[in-house]
Amino acid sequence: MPMAMAMAVATRRHPGRHPGRPLGAAGATRYGEGMTFNSNADVSGSGAKRRGPGGGVIAGGVGGLGAIAVILLQIFTGADFSSLLGGMGGGTEAGPETDIANCETGADANASIDCRLAGGSKSINTYWASQVQGYRAPQLIIVDGSTPTACGTASNATGPFYCPPEETVYIDPTFFQVLEQQFGDEAGPLAQLYVLAHEYGHHIQQITGIFDQYPSNGTGPYSNGVRSELQADCFAGAWVQGAADQKDDNGVAYLQRPSDDQIRDALDAAAAVGDDHIQAKSGQVNPESWTHGSSEQRQRWFTQGLNGGPGACDTFSVGNNL
């Protein structure tokens, strides 16, 4: 049954950006082919926009290897160091917004990352429209270079994030290219769509009032921040489970049903970006600084959504059994 808008599907209000640490940002998982669109599915009319390139980052920013270092620092800490890229006195200017071109069919989505994200948004929006009464879709912005938002700068350095005041998901596809260059095949189609679904999970938290109900209370293994990220993982799992049932206006499913191997890939990805796994690489695990949850938690809550749907994703009613 659809969830009422007031239902506490559970999470916190984020005062600014709501980053989803990219799946595949650590570890040695390989994703194979990932989730595949049916070639004759109609993915046109997604409403996704491209913004940029605009002014990009200007005046005294960090470039080259320095920029890569900043990107990796953000990946492994979850913190925003984008100001280092802009430099003192630097800034960004918003470029024009245009529709995503050459994105009509599932075949286009399989061939192009921009179209894959746009097509993925159609599947995700269709799913949540069947789950949340009065659902309204967020805006998806495919960023070229860098652009200002109400939640700070969006770029491949900041990574994908959801901006609650704008109800907008920002993704610079070159971010995935950076991950592929640094970590191999870990940012394949499955990881990309999982990241997208995770950010849309934060949109569900916004429009159902969960951000207001569970305000931010810092970091730590039982913090509202960790609970919100785990719930977004759970919501992403719920969408993955139902993705093959979401159809275009002609009755064609957008996506093929994921295989067991692809589900295992998603679970491996969730483990790779657990706070404990990432911190262990630096030699010290400190649960009090966690922002996204442990590897075990991220796997478990993804599976919870996969098996039980969004109604099984209340991370706020389980106490310390998180």
Would residue 27 count as lying in a domain? yes
Would residue 289 count as lying in a domain? yes
Would residue 9 count as lying in a domain? no
Would residue 4 count as lying in a domain? no
Q: Is 96 exposed, middle or buried (0-12, 13-18, 19+ CB in 10 A)?
A: exposed
- 8 in the Ramachandran plot: left (φ > 0), alpha (ψ -120 to 50) or beta? beta
Residue 185 neighbours by CB distance under 10 Å: 15
DSSP 203-223: HHHHHTTHHHHS-----STTS
Residue 300 has pLDDT above 70, yes or no: yes
Average pLDDT, integer, range 29-45: 75
Would residue 154 count as lying in a domain? yes
Would residue 243 count as lying in a domain? yes
Would residue 66 count as lying in a domain? yes
93 Cβ contact partners less than 8 Å away, ≥ 6 residues apart: 54, 55, 56, 58, 148
Note the pLDDT tens digit of each residue in 93-148.
677 788 888 999 999 999 999 999 999 999 999 999 999 999 999 999 998 877 87
Please tell me the distance from the alpha carbon of residue 112 to that of residue 69, in angstroms, as a whole number.
27
Note the pLDDT tens digit of each residue in 222-269.
999 999 999 999 999 999 999 999 999 999 999 999 888 778 777 877
Please tell me the distance from the alpha carbon of residue 206 to that of residue 255, in angstroms, as a whole number.
26
Residue 271 — very low, low, confident or very high, per pLDDT cuts 50/70/90? confident
Residue 308: give the domain boundaries: 18-312
Residue 68 has pLDDT above 70, yes or no: no
**In total, how many domains does the chain have?**
1
Would residue 317 count as lying in a domain? no
